[in-house]
Amino acid sequence: MSKLGLLKNVYALILISVAISAFAQVSLKAGMASPSVQKALAEGGERLSILLAVALNPLVLLGLFLYFGSAAVWLLVLSKVQVSFAYPFVALGFVLTALLGRFFFNDTFSAAKVIGTLLIVSGVVVLANGA
């Protein structure tokens, strides 16, 4: 495979890993906001009952499964490129997670968050072009 072909493949794998990780965050957040988990937390009962409520929540389990999938894809990325090349792209997870949070949970975007997000994207673009 040519260097350009390898880079395109690696970029795709990086974006897949980051996207899976962002969806894992959304799933974990939704699971922790679920009535069963919130009830266990509000009751302030035994740690075991809270742990069981969290561990048995389908959305929490899905989030953990997605994280495992993201890590598996990430390992494939690391087998192909230097970590110093790949890791800065993880910052895109913040951008995607913020957008997903807005869509699924009506999270707010302050001016500082918008500026910070644009700086992150700009930084990743600069690093990607220097590859």
Q: State the pLDDT at residue 91.
A: 92
pLDDT in tens, 9-46: 999 999 999 999 999 999 999 999 999 999 989 987 77
- The whole-model pTM stands at 0.87
pLDDT in tens, 54-76: 999 999 999 999 999 999 999 99
Q: What is the DSSP letter of 34?
A: S
Annotated domain spans of the chain = 3-129
Secondary structure (3-state) at 79: coil
| Phi–psi pair at 57, nearest 5 degrees | -75, 125
Is the pLDDT at 121 greater than 70? The verdict is: yes
Secondary structure (3-state) at 56: coil
